[in-house]
Chain A
Amino acid sequence: MAVEEGLKIELGKQGVFVTTIEELYNWGRRSSIWPMQFGLACCAIEMIATTMARYDLARFGAEVFRPSPRQADLMIISGTVTKKMAPQVVRLYNQMAEPKYVIAMGACAISGGPFKQGYNVLKGIDRYIPVDVHIPGCPPRPEALLQAFMTLQKKIDGQHLTGEDRPRHLDAGAQGEFPVPVQGEHDLEPASNPGVWTVPVVMK
């Protein structure tokens, strides 16, 4: 049962701190999003810059880049995902413990970007794994990555522990592991995971 906002402030003035488990849980999670230490292309350079003193990702509690997927909460797809690399990206994502989030950073990770017409580049990582925040740009500025972190924090803050819209890690029936595509004779098989991604309708 959520406490009324005005009452909470009044109580706070009297030195009484009132919260809910949900708020505390989400506050803890959103304040310590540990990204995976993982870069794919030039966007990774901007990601590194974001962690450095000038942009200071530590302000968001997310400066601890973990070299193992098992300790990470967030995967930043920072750069071009080639078809040769895509199975490894999905496998790394599967190895992360729930709750896990994905930021698709830059044009390539979103759609293939300038390499979209190539035979060797995956046309968006959201064909295989669910993406929480997309950041446009080529590459996006560090400010844009900070914006993505803030968007993700808002998203985590809004998640409910129970109910229909509860996040995947609290839903026993939800899809937990995502099939790793196989490198076939001509292309990745399957070309996308229909459970995650459906072809948007072309309006023209």
Chain B
Amino acid sequence: MKTVEEIKTAIETAVPGAGVQIVPNPSVSGQHSLRLAPGHAVEVAKFLRDELSFDFLSNVTGVDWPDKEITEKVKVTRTVTKTVDGVETTGEETVEETRKQVQPGCLEAVYHLYSVALKQGPLTLRMRTVNRTDQVELPSLTPIWRSAEFQEREIFDLFGVVFTGHPDLRRLLMWDGFKDHPMRRDYVEPDDFEYEPTAHDDVLKRALAHRNRDQGPGIRDQLAKAGQ
């Protein structure tokens, strides 16, 4: 099988300005992946299918990259004026400063490709949205590989990535009126965990939060009251 570098070169000759990046995988398996620029993804996918015989899309999945706060220590040199024994001296001093930076998050779709004809694979493709809130569009690869249809719907449902060009983009697992995206890291699940007979840790905390809440009367209580 061609290496990822070779595939990248082939893509760049076929699709000028494709903007393909290699995402290295430092583990022993060394399965590096290719990050596609969303603007050229459909063209690149067509090239991979028709010219490089990647005829089988086995899996599509999503990744949520939340906003990340990075703390880094930077050495800063600045001019300091000191007064020692009544004499002013100007010198340079190196101080360590802690800077905080927020790296904006994004949503990622991951595609696993195989070639049944050449018995090759997998090739991993990745695409990233601009951010996690309003610019969450990615081009759909369903027109290229039909097997992406349901899995892209699933990513739309659980991560909230909007696939442009998808023939039938609806929620797949949750119901239509559902507003959240449960696989996102910041998803808050509904608090319906009032009771757990063998509660422990977080479950116990959630159960205890419900301990003293108001409860409506049950059928038996209602009947007893009606009988009185």
Q: Which residues of A contact B208 (CB under 8 A)?
A: 202, 204
Chain B interface bracket (under 10, 10 to 19, 20 to 34, 35 or more):
20 to 34
Say yes or no: A197 contacts B218, CB within 8 Å.
Answer: yes
**Known A117-B203, A204-B199; contact A195-B216, beta-carbon cutoff 8 A:** yes
- Enumerate 9 A-B pairs (CB-CB under 8 Å) in ascending A order: A84-B175, A123-B193, A185-B178, A187-B190, A195-B218, A200-B197, A202-B199, A202-B211, A204-B199
Contact B215 A198 (CB under 8 A): yes
Known contacts being A119-B189, A120-B174, A202-B195, is A185 close to B179, with CB within 8 Å? yes
Chain A interface size range: 20 to 34
| A184, CB-defined interface residue at 8 Å | yes
Given that A195-B219, A198-B218 are contacting pairs, would A183 and B187 also be in contact in the complex, using a CB cutoff of 8 Å? no
Confirm or deny: A194 has a beta carbon within 8 angstroms of a beta carbon on chain B. yes
B211: which A residues are within 8 A, CB to CB? 201-202
Q: How far is the CA of A199 from the CA of B213 in the complex (A)?
A: 9
CB closest residue in chain A, given B221: A198
Interface string of B200-228 (1 = CB under 8 A from A): 00011001101101011111001100110
In the docked arrangement, what's the CA distance between A46 and B190, Å?
31
A201 surroundings in chain B (CB, below 8 A): 211
B215: chain A residues within 8 A (beta carbon)? 194, 198-199
Contact flag A186-B192 (CB < 8 Å), given A202-B207, A204-B208: no
Q: Which of A117, A120, A173 contacts B226 (CB 8 A)?
A: A173
A residues near B196, Cβ cutoff 8 Å: 116, 202
Task: Specify which chain A residues have a CB less than 8 angstroms from the CB of B223 in the assembled complex.
Answer: 173-174
Show the binding face of A for B, using Cβ within 8 Å: 83-84, 116-117, 119-120, 123, 130, 164, 173-175, 183-187, 191-192, 194-202, 204
Kindly state the separation between the CA atoms of A195 and B217 in the bound complex, as whole angstroms.
6
CA of A202 to CA of B212 in the docked complex: distance in angstroms? 10
Flag if A186 contacts B190 (CB, 8 Å): yes
Interface of B is mostly: loop
CB contact between B195 and one of A120, A174, A187, A199 (< 8 Å): that residue? A199
Are the C-beta atoms of A196 and B218 separated by less than 8 Å? yes
**Shortest Cβ gap from A112 to chain B (Å):** 9
Bound complex: CA A123 to CA B194 (Å): 10
Bound CA–CA A117/B193 (angstroms): 8
Which DSSP category, helix, strand, loop or mixed, fits chain A's interface? loop
Chain B residues near A123: list those with CB within 8 A.
Answer: 192-193, 195
Kindly state whether residue B104 has any CB partner on chain A within 8 Å.
Answer: no
From 152 to 172 in chain B, residues with beta carbon under 8 angstroms from any chain A beta carbon are: none
- Chain A residues near B178 (CB-CB < 8 A): 183, 185-186
| B182 within 8 A of partner (CB) | yes
| A104 shortest CB reach to chain B, Å | 15
Contact A194 B227 (CB under 8 A): no
Query: Cβ of B91: which chain A residues have Cβ within 8 Å of it?
Result: none
- B51 at interface (Cβ–Cβ under 8 A)? no
Name the distance in Å between B193's Cβ and chain A's nearest Cβ: 7
| Alpha-carbon distance between A184 and B190 when the two chains are bound, in angstroms | 11
Task: Please measure, in the bound complex, the distance between the C-alpha atom of A195 and the C-alpha atom of B218, giving whole angstroms.
Answer: 4
Distance A191 CA – B216 CA, assembled complex (angstroms): 13
Contact: B175 with A183, CB < 8 Å? yes
CB contacts (< 8 Å) of A120 on chain B: these are: 173-174, 182
B67 within 8 A of A: no
List residues of chain A with CB within 8 A of the CB of B175.
83-84, 183
Q: Give the docked Cα–Cα distance between A123 and B182 (Å).
A: 17
Distance in angstroms from A68 CB to nearest chain B CB is 25
A7 CB to nearest chain B CB (Å): 34
A186–B194 touching, CB < 8 Å:
no
Residues of chain B lying within 8 A (CB to CB) of residue A184: 177
